[in-house]
Structure 1
Amino acid sequence: MTRVYLSLGSNIHRHQHIHAALDALADAFGELMISPVYESKSVGFDGSNFFNLVVGVDTDLPIAALSDQLKQIENDNGRVRSGPKFSPRTLDIDILTYGDFVGVEHGVELPRTEITKNAFVLLPLAEIAGSEKHPALLGTYDALWGSYDKASQSLWRVDFTWRERQVSKAGN
Structure 2
Amino acid sequence: MTLAYIGVGSNLEREKHIQAAYQELHKIGSVRASCVYECQPIGFDSHAFYNMVFELVTELSLVELQRRLKEIELRWGRAANAQKFQDRTLDLDILLFGDAVSSSDPIVPRHDIFTYEFVAKPLLELCPDYIIPSDGRSIRQVWQSLESKGTLTLVAFTFNTKNHD
Band of TM-score, shorter chain? over 0.9
Partner secondary structure for residue 125 of structure 2? helix
Please state how far the C-alpha of 1:83 moved relative to its aligned partner.
4.1
Partner secondary structure for residue 160 of structure 1? coil
- Separation of aligned partners in 2, 1:37 and 1:136: 28
- Separation of aligned partners in 1, 2:19 and 2:87: 18
1:2 corresponds in structure 2 to 2
Aligned length: 162
Please state how far the C-alpha of 1:10 moved relative to its aligned partner.
0.1
Task: Report whether the alignment pairs 1:110 with 2:108.
Answer: yes
Decide which of 126, 133, 142 is 1:135's aligned counterpart.
133
Partner secondary structure for residue 150 of structure 1? coil
Deviations 1:129-169 (A, max 9, x none): 00111112111111111121002x6111101010269xxxx
Contact 2:4 2:97 in 1 (8 A): yes
- Separation of aligned partners in 1, 2:82 and 2:161: 35
Contact 2:28 2:58 in 1 (8 A): no
Deviations 1:54-110 (A, max 9, x none): 0011112111111110011101100013243210000000000111111235x2111
Are residues 27 and 103 of structure 1, via their aligned partners in 2, closer, same or farther at CA, if it must alter by over 3 Å? closer
1:79 corresponds in structure 2 to 78
Task: For structure 1, list consecutive stretches of 5 or more residues without a partner in the other structure.
Answer: 166-172
Decide which of 160, 164, 167 is 2:157's aligned counterpart.
160
Q: Which amino acid in the other structure matches residue 151 of structure 2? A: S
TM superposition score normalised by structure 1:
0.89
* Percentage of pairs with the same residue: 36
More strand by share: 1
Deviations 1:5-62 (A, max 9, x none): 0000000000000101100111221x31110000000011111100000001111211
Are residues 161 and 84 of structure 1, via their aligned partners in 2, closer, same or farther at CA, if it must alter by over 3 Å? same
- Separation of aligned partners in 1, 2:161 and 2:23: 12
Q: Which amino acid in the other structure matches residue 156 of structure 1? A: T
Task: For structure 2, list consecutive stretches of 5 or more residues without a partner in the other structure.
Answer: none
1:149 corresponds in structure 2 to 147
2:25 corresponds in structure 1 to 25
Partner secondary structure for residue 80 of structure 2? coil
- Separation of aligned partners in 1, 2:13 and 2:5: 23
TM superposition score normalised by structure 2:
0.93
1:26-45 to 2 correspondences below 5 Å: 26-29=26-29, 31-45=30-44
Q: Which amino acid in the other structure matches residue 20 of structure 1? A: A
The two structures, once aligned, show a CA RMSD in angstroms of 1.5
